[in-house]
Structure formats: structure tokens, C-alpha cells
Structure 1
Amino acid sequence: MSQESSNLIQLEKENPFLTSKVKRKLDSKDCRILFLYPNERGMSTIPPSITALSQILKDEGHQTALFDTTFYKFDDEITIEDSEVTKSKSLENRPVLERDDDDIHFKKTTRSAVLDFETSIEKFKPDFIAVSCTETTFLRAIKLIEQTRHKNIKNLFGGVFPTFAPDLVMNYKDVDMACVGEGENAIIDLANSISNKEDYSNVTNLWIKQDDGTITKNSISRPVDIDEIPPITDIGLFGEKRFYRPMGGKIRRLLPVETHRGCPFTCSFCNSPGQNRLYGDGDFKKGLSFFRKKSMNLVKTEIKNHIEKYDVEYIYFWADTFLAWNDNEFNQFCEMYEEFKLPFWCQTRIETIVEDKFKRLKDLGLDRVTFGLEHGNEKFRRDIVKRDYPNDAAVSKIKIIEKLGITFSVNNIIGFPDETRELAFDTIELNRKFNSDNTSCSILVPFHGTELHAYAVKKGYLDPNVICAVSNSGESLLNMPQWDKKDMTRLRDVFAMYIKFPKDRWPEIKKAETDKVLRHKLREEFVKTYWSDSAAKIEDDIAEAAKGLF
């Protein structure tokens, strides 16, 4: 064992939560890291995680590059249904009416992603490939790695899926390493170790497959201090083409700004509570709380850079619960954003709605806001979804947003474990009590790391080793005796119609669940009636580019 490895083990024993421990030698060669972002969800927002990691590596003197599959059109056995196209068809998103300049921002290529990825490897010559993936995109990443394995480049898989299912991920023969938890410290230690030509088998947060097939499982460091992450990150890594996406029927030049990481709430379908559990639920002896708030000065610096360097016209605030601030922090945000007043989008909990606060946000540029309702039956929502609030209170809160004239959308989920079609109609009935601009209806995906994944496995509805390689608009993965998954999908497709159309139209909508011609006819009527400014016919290629942020 090398002296460096021995020292690293000793540090690990002394303080298993120590963050970055490996210092780069002055005469060491730069490490070269190629990021792989296996995205198939159309025009998703640029992920702040990759831009931050790239910037941290560059600040340390290393070199980075990116292969992003967003603009590739896949047609194979693992191709994911484009959830955004489905959302447009099921009336969750307003159609995009603005013509794109020769589809420059959205058109996908039919070139081979594998061959292009191989070319990227040959040109950049990385020391390792850093794969950022979710459970939905994992299989696409695996296929790209498998088909370029002959290049003999080590890989590191990171993201929420490797964090919550590392055994499953490491079981794939072509996966070399997995990052469990946050990657900011681990990737620096790994890159510095490679630069120093040192053993990296004890780098915190990494699971590493050894030559004999055994796996070294290192402990997790404490959560990073997000105020130490560079406020100006490597946005340019993705290229200007990725700055554009439709929002509320208009093509916007926008970029994300992270204000919070994690969430203080405990919804059973979300992996944020799992992150809190992973890091000890705020127990300092186990680690710090995963839920953190970025200082307002750093938020301001990032916004200012987006405007001055990238000429953005719209801000997407990256936070599970935007209003998870106390009153003083909220006032700090308002005072800070007064300087910009760019239109922005955010999402927050219904319980956080306070009239005076939303008045201020509207004055500052709030363009659209999304609320998670998820389910309309109070008992079911409390017991299964882990959201405990009365329906009357929710309606009263949302009516405040209506009164203020703020455009809003509402997220709903069907297909929860033990749910029935009748329970799903409680969600429809609750949505009928207010007038949202958009109403999403996703079929539950029981991701690893969520409470509902464990519950579904326990009930026998789900194989624990199944990878949820579908979008939120895909068919249910749960096999439940009380609700046929085909019927569930059909209900999703007309969910918005049941909410907006008068009840005397419900028999017609029920027929449309299985009648595609009638469903298309009702969809056109819906658009003309409820989105009057979206009455024009949408070209197929533009409809496929319709990407809402809800």
C-alpha cells in the first residue's frame, strides 16, 4: 500500500465526514474529465450540478468537456417516451406558438449518438468519464458506455440513482465507480489523485470496483457547504443552444439559478427525504442536514453573471420549495431581486402561500408558479403521500393566487400504491375548485430512495430490482389488482378534460378515453376554449418541442 493511500485511510478514520482531502501536487499533470449527460427528455433545463462540478474542476486546473444527448433522436429498445410530447397531447402544457428559427433550438439529430460519443472520447482523451444520471436515464448511459468500452476509459456514475441504488448500479459489469451522495468533494479528490498518480481507492463517497470484482465502499462525507460552490459556474459547457426552451407557450432564453438544495418536507414520492436520511436527518454527529439555503449574495452574483455574460431574459429558480425561507430570508431575496426584476418561474408548496409575499413576488417579476397538489383525498394524501393539510385550506390558498392574477399550474399524481380510479377522481374534483392555467397529471414512478418504492415492494406491487427507466408520463410500473395500468394511462390522457369541461360532458370524455378520434377532437376544442391565445394549429415538430417547467 502506498504512503498516500495509508494517509488517506488514516484521515478517514480520524474524521469520516471530512470533505476534500487530496491536495494536487504542483508538478502534476491536469486530469481530463468528460461529462456524459444521457438526457432524453427533450429540452430539459441545464442541470446546475454538472456546471458546478465542471467549474470546481477547472478552478483546480483540470480540463473538462461534455457529451450531451439532449439533441439526439433515439429509436431502440430502451428509448424513453418523450414525456413533454405526452404532456402536450394530454393538455398539461400550453402549445408553443412562436416559430423557431429553422428549429435551431429544438430539432434533434438522427446521427449516431454512440459514434459521436466515441469521437468525443478520441478527441478529448479523458482520464475518466463522469456520468450524471437519474434512474430514468441510467440505461441510456449504460448503453453508451458499453458500446465505447473498447476505449478503455474508466467511468464514474453519479446522481440520485447511484446514490440510492449503488448495489444495483455496481452490478453492471461496465460500471467502474459510483458516487453515493454529493459529488463536489469526491470528484476533486478523484481528479487530484489521478493527477498525482496516487491510489484513489479510499476517496470518500466512492464505491470502486477492484480488478478482482470486489467493491470498495467508502463512507460518505458531510454535505458540501453550498456557499463554497463557485457562484459563477461553467454554464458555457452546454452551449448556447441549450439556453432556449418554451415556457407558457413562448420560447424563452433562460437559465437556472439554485437557491436551495434539498427540501425540509417529507413527501413519500420524492427522494429529498431520502437524502435527509442518508445524511443523518440533521444529526451533526452523522452529518449536516442535506437541506441547505444558498446565501443571497451568491444568488445575486449568479443571476448577474447570467444576464451580463449570457444575456438571459428569464430565470428558472432551481428549488424543490422556493418559499422554504423564513421571513428575513424572503425579504433578503426581494431586496436582492429588486435590481433585476426579470420574469421568473418557481415552484413551492401550497402551504407556503401568503398573500403579501406573492404580491411582492408578482411586482418583482413572478411570471409563473407551480404548486404540488398531488392528490385530492385528504386521508389518502396524509397516509400515503405524506402531505397533511385540509382541502378547504388548499383551495383558499390557491384562490389568493387567482385573485392576484398570477399564472399558475398544479401538479397531480395518479397511480399511487393502493389507489383506485375512484380515489383519483377525488383529485379531479379538487382541481375543479380553482382555475389553473395548466394541470399536470403524472403516473407515479416509484424511484429508488423514496418511501413509496419501499412500500410498493413490500406490498408486492413492484420488483425491487426493476429500474424505473420511464419518464413521468410512462405507463405505471406497479402491478396492482385494484386498478388496471392501461385504464390508468387512459385517465391520464383526459385528466385535464375532466377538470375543465362541464360535468355534463363527462360521459363523452369517458368515451374519449378509448376513442382516439374523439379524444383528438376534444383536445382541439379544449385548446380553443381554455387557451384561446393558443388556438392556432401546432406543427408536429414544434409540438414535440413544447417543454413546460411543470
Structure 2
Amino acid sequence: MKILFAHRNCESLGIEYISSILKQNGHKTDLIFDPGAGDIEFKSKLITRVFKYDDKILQKIKRFSPDLIAFSSMTNMFPWIRHLTKLIKQSFEIPIIVGGIHPTIAPEETINYDYIDMICRGEGEFAMLDLIDSLDSRREQYEIKNIWFKKDHKIIKNPLRPLLNDLDSLPLPDKDLFFKYGAFSIRYYIMTSRGCPYNCSYCHNHQLREIYANDKPYVRFRSVDNVINELKWALERYKFKKVYFYDDVFGMNLKWLQDFSQKYKKEINKPYKCLLYPQNITKEKLSLLKNSKCKEIDIGLESGNQRVRKDILNRNISDKEMLKSFSLLKESGIQFSTLNIIGVPTETLDDLMDTFHMNYKIHPKGALFTILYPFPKTKIYDLCFELGELNENGIKIIHKGLSSYRDRPILKRNFDYVIKFNIFAPIFLKLPKSLNKYLFRLPPIKFFRIISIIFLTTPKNVRTKLFEFILMLLRTSDYYKKMEKKQEYYY
């Protein structure tokens, strides 16, 4: 069987693992990719028109002639999937399946779209293998766990299979799918675990834990040796300069981190970036991270107001604990950026300024402020509805994946000051305190939005992301040009 994956804007580790499983079992896979050039950090219709790939994607489908087209969907990617699936169905009679977090959390809304034939909920590696083997045998089975089908104007809803406990049993991810498009280049993206132990109200992890309530453990780890072996293989193949550990929280297990720190420094020794949770920070862990060449950390401050942080965002950490964690980070010498959510229910202007002042006090190298996007069926989504912050139109927007954390707030209250804060807070954190009074006086025009991007993260990460973005555009364009000339093209 031939399976053509489709993705946009970034690399998908989920697609890479599924592709490896399918190839391991004798199937052929490939990828259609859209860099989403006009929808990175800020929306630009002009850039979108210049780098539009719809026609080239259709050519790729015709050339590869797949038996199945498979998408992986985050909520904010769903509008593109709706657009592309309709376009595909107008030209081809090829079954389409959509997996990922959006159909897992909002399955009804996903499968009810006319141009989607099936969805995959939860982890997809072995569900997709069972589906492809079924299609290949010409005896379609409609009892495959994790898969929902449309059949005879009805929807067949199958239960979830257990979570995969032995992550080491998975083959190496099929990175070649995305590498040829420049979706990664100088920085290698990898995960060492699945799941998160925390229950933040705005994140899907608490929903997934409820869905898999009978599966223990929810948080699972790859062995250190398995991670190191992948990195050694990838270093030889892709010659990367940096690593980004994309775990929800990196190095949660101290014993694992001790083993990792020693082996990574000895066998890989490349600078890396990771994500941490404030309560998970200790002096010993930071020492292990630094000794193994951790150079950058993203960490969720989320709100500088303790009431908002605890009661609304469900992050049970006091101001004192928060400041202690950031003090340890400063002492370690590792550069860090904060992640902040603004425009949340019940948040006042004073609460918002608490977030600004705490950032000013801890002085991060970068600060990302995102406007709350209440993802479907999260606890904060339910709270917004209960408080009357979400009307029917807002609910429809969210379930269709329209808008994003970069756009105007979806909630009903007047949030003009939130939009200004979103743009100017990262800039004003770098200016003298005496200028803070001008924070809400400048107009929120696109020029300032572009300027603020420089201040969202560490200078090193800004340079890396800019290089990755430009290279992705060039390689994607080059790939499709080569394809049109009917040349095989692999990096």
C-alpha cells in the first residue's frame, strides 16, 4: 500500500513514527508539505499568496498515486486541512484519514466534515498499521481500535487501544520525510518521553489522562541508551548543530537525567534546548543540564498573579516558589525564556501587570506572551463557557480551529489592552522601567508586531528559528521545482 502523509508549517514526530512502522511492514510512504509561510508568528496574506503550494500538492498526489492520504491535525491546523481535503476530493477519489490531537479531543467535529472519511484517535502507530493492513487485504475491517469510520451514512466509533508502554520498541522516526523539505536542518527535534504529569487547565494533557484513565502509567520514558542511539544515527545522517528536546517537561526523572547527562556529554556533546516546569527545577537538575551542554530553556511562568495561576490556570505554585525557581535558573547561567498566557477569564489589568512585573524582576532573555485560545473541551474552555465568556459563535470558531493565540481574543470582554500587551510587553521588558508608562500608548500596528518577534525568545533561538524558516522556504520551493521536472529529489 502507498500512504501519502500531509502536513504544514513544521515537522511532525507523530507522522515520522507512523511512517517508520508502515515502512517496516512493507508499505510505501511519502509526504506533501506546505511551509505555511504566511502563518508563522504573524499572519501575512501576501506571503501566503507568494508561497502557495496547492497546485504543486495536487501534482504530487497525482504522481505518487496513494491508496490513502493521512493528515495529523492540531486544532489551529484544522482550517488548512478542511481547505486541502476539499481540494483533494474535487480531483481524486482517495480515502482521507485525519489523526492527531484535534480528532482525539473533538472527534465528532472532525469526522462530520464532508471530505474526511476516517479519523484516528490517540496514539496512531499501530492503529494505522492495522488499518493499512486491512485495506491491503481488500477485506476492510471496521472494528480497528482508535479508528472511526464513515459507512452507509453512519459513523462507526471504535474504542481506544491501550497506550504504548515500551517506547523503545518503536523504530527510529522517518526523518527523511521532512528533511527534504527543510522542515528541520541545523537543529534536531526529538522527544524522550510521552505525557505530562501536570494538569494545567489550558492544556490537552488533563483530557488525555481522563481518556486513558485506566492506562498506567500515563507518562512514559524512552531509555537513555535508546535516545542516545537515535542521536548518534541522526548526527551521522543529518549533521545537525543543535538539539531541541520537545518533551512537555524534560528530565522529570532525576535518575534518568543523571544517566543522560553523562552519556550525552560523552557521545553527542551538542548544545541543546528543552522545556521545564518551575516546580520541577532543582539545583542538582540544573547542574546536570548545564554539564551536558544545555544552553537554552523555555519555562512556563504563564501568569505573574498567584490567584490567576492557581485558580484559573491550575498551576499550583506560589509566587515564592516561582521566584526561587527562577533564581536557581539565573544562578545556573543557562539562558531562559518565559512562556506567558494573557487574556484569561477573570484576569484584570492589574493581574496582567503582575505578569509584566514578575518578568521584569526575573529578567529572562526572551518572553513569549500568547493570548488565551481555549482549546476544545479543556477545563479553561468549560470555565469560559460557564462564565459567559464564550458565546455560540466563539464555540464554533474554536471547534473549527479558526483564529489562534496570535489573533484577537475570542472571549467576549473588551480586550484592547490585551492586544497591546501581547505586542509591546516583550519589547518593554528590555527598556528602562521609567518607560513602562508608555506600554499601552503605542498603536498595535503590524510593524510593532514584527519587531516584537525579536524579543520573544533568546537571541540564539531567534537566529536559529530565522535560519530554519528561510531554509524551509527555499528547500520546499526547490523540492517542488525538481518534482515538476520529474527528477527524484532527496537530500
Query: What TM-score range do you get, normalising by the shorter chain?
Result: 0.7 to 0.9
Residues of 1 paired with 2:48 and 2:127: CA distance?
A: 34
**Paired residue for 2:24, among 59, 64, 68?**
59
Following superposition, the deviation at residue 506 of structure 1 comes to 2.1
Alignment of 1:264 with 2:222, yes or no, is no
Q: Which whole-Å deviations, capped at 9, do the CAs of 1:171-215 have from their partners, x for residues lacking one?
A: 2111111111111121000000011111221111111111x3210
* Higher alpha-carbon deviation: 360-369 or 434-443: 360-369
Counterpart of 1:445 in structure 2: which amino acid?
Answer: Y
Residues of 1 paired with 2:226 and 2:43: CA distance?
A: 36
Residues of 1 paired with 2:433 and 2:197: CA distance?
A: 38
Residues of 2 paired with 1:532 and 1:330: CA distance?
A: 27
Following superposition, the deviation at residue 288 of structure 1 comes to 3.3
* Bigger Rg, which one: 1
SS at match of 2:344: coil
**Paired residue for 1:465, among 396, 399, 420?**
396
Tell me what 1:242 maps to.
182
CA RMSD of aligned residues (A): 2.9
Following superposition, the deviation at residue 159 of structure 1 comes to 0.6
Mapping 1:353-368, distance limit 5 Å: 353-368=281-296
Alignment of 1:512 with 2:442, yes or no, is yes
* Higher alpha-carbon deviation: 222-231 or 169-178: 222-231
Identity level (%): 26
Alignment of 1:169 with 2:110, yes or no, is yes
Q: Which whole-Å deviations, capped at 9, do the CAs of 1:482-511 have from their partners, x for residues lacking one?
A: xx1333111111112443333321222322
Counterpart of 1:495 in structure 2: which amino acid?
Answer: A
Tell me what 2:129 maps to.
188
Residues 154 and 264 of structure 1: CA distance in aligned 2, closer, same or farther (over 3 Å): same
Tell me what 1:89 maps to.
none
Following superposition, the deviation at residue 544 of structure 1 comes to 7.7
SS at match of 1:198: coil
Residues of 1 paired with 2:40 and 2:316: CA distance?
A: 32
Residues of 1 paired with 2:261 and 2:271: CA distance?
A: 13
Task: Note if contact 1:268-1:450 (Cα within 8 Å) is conserved in structure 2.
Answer: yes
Counterpart of 2:438 in structure 1: which amino acid?
Answer: E
Residues of 1 paired with 2:243 and 2:73: CA distance?
A: 24
Task: Note if contact 1:38-1:132 (Cα within 8 Å) is conserved in structure 2.
Answer: no
Tell me what 1:33 maps to.
3
Tell me what 1:395 maps to.
323
Residues of 2 paired with 1:84 and 1:514: CA distance?
A: 13
Task: Note if contact 1:184-1:224 (Cα within 8 Å) is conserved in structure 2.
Answer: no
Residues 154 and 83 of structure 1: CA distance in aligned 2, closer, same or farther (over 3 Å): same
Following superposition, the deviation at residue 83 of structure 1 comes to 1.5
Task: Note if contact 2:262-2:292 (Cα within 8 Å) is conserved in structure 1.
Answer: no
Larger RCO (CA under 8 A, 6+ residues apart): 1
Tell me what 1:423 maps to.
351
Counterpart of 1:225 in structure 2: which amino acid?
Answer: N
SS at match of 1:136: helix
SS at match of 2:440: helix
SS at match of 2:339: strand
SS at match of 1:370: strand
Residues of 1 paired with 2:458 and 2:108: CA distance?
A: 47
**Paired residue for 1:217, among 151, 157, 160?**
157
* Higher alpha-carbon deviation: 459-468 or 487-496: 459-468
Unaligned ranges ≥5, structure 2: 473-491
Residues of 2 paired with 1:488 and 1:521: CA distance?
A: 17
SS at match of 2:163: coil
Tell me what 1:206 maps to.
147
Task: Note if contact 1:428-1:495 (Cα within 8 Å) is conserved in structure 2.
Answer: yes
Tell me what 1:336 maps to.
263
Residues of 2 paired with 1:182 and 1:417: CA distance?
A: 32
**Paired residue for 1:496, among 415, 426, 436?**
426
Mapping 1:409-448, distance limit 5 Å: 409-448=337-376
Following superposition, the deviation at residue 309 of structure 1 comes to 1.3
Unaligned ranges ≥5, structure 1: 1-30, 75-80, 87-106, 246-252, 281-285
SS at match of 2:32: strand
Following superposition, the deviation at residue 229 of structure 1 comes to 4.5
Tell me what 1:99 maps to.
none
Following superposition, the deviation at residue 390 of structure 1 comes to 1.4
Mapping 1:19-418, distance limit 5 Å: 31-39=1-9, 44=10, 46-70=11-35, 73=37, 81-83=39-41, 110=50, 112-149=52-89, 150-210=91-151, 212-242=152-182, 244=184, 253-280=186-213, 286-325=214-253, 327-338=254-265, 339-418=267-346
Residues 317 and 177 of structure 1: CA distance in aligned 2, closer, same or farther (over 3 Å): same
Residues of 1 paired with 2:450 and 2:382: CA distance?
A: 41
Residues of 2 paired with 1:151 and 1:373: CA distance?
A: 47
Counterpart of 1:189 in structure 2: which amino acid?
Answer: D
Task: Note if contact 1:243-1:254 (Cα within 8 Å) is conserved in structure 2.
Answer: no
Residues of 1 paired with 2:364 and 2:51: CA distance?
A: 40
Residues of 2 paired with 1:115 and 1:421: CA distance?
A: 47
Counterpart of 1:35 in structure 2: which amino acid?
Answer: F
- State TM-score, norm by structure 2: 0.87
Residues of 1 paired with 2:348 and 2:329: CA distance?
A: 30
SS at match of 1:336: helix
Residues of 1 paired with 2:37 and 2:422: CA distance?
A: 25
Counterpart of 1:50 in structure 2: which amino acid?
Answer: I
Structure with a larger share of its residues in helix: 2
Task: Note if contact 1:231-1:298 (Cα within 8 Å) is conserved in structure 2.
Answer: no
After the TM superposition, which parts of structure 1 deviate over 6 Å for at least 4 consecutive aligned residues?
Answer: 520-524, 530-535, 541-544
Count of residue pairs brought into register by the alignment = 460
Following superposition, the deviation at residue 156 of structure 1 comes to 0.6
Residues of 2 paired with 1:516 and 1:134: CA distance?
A: 26
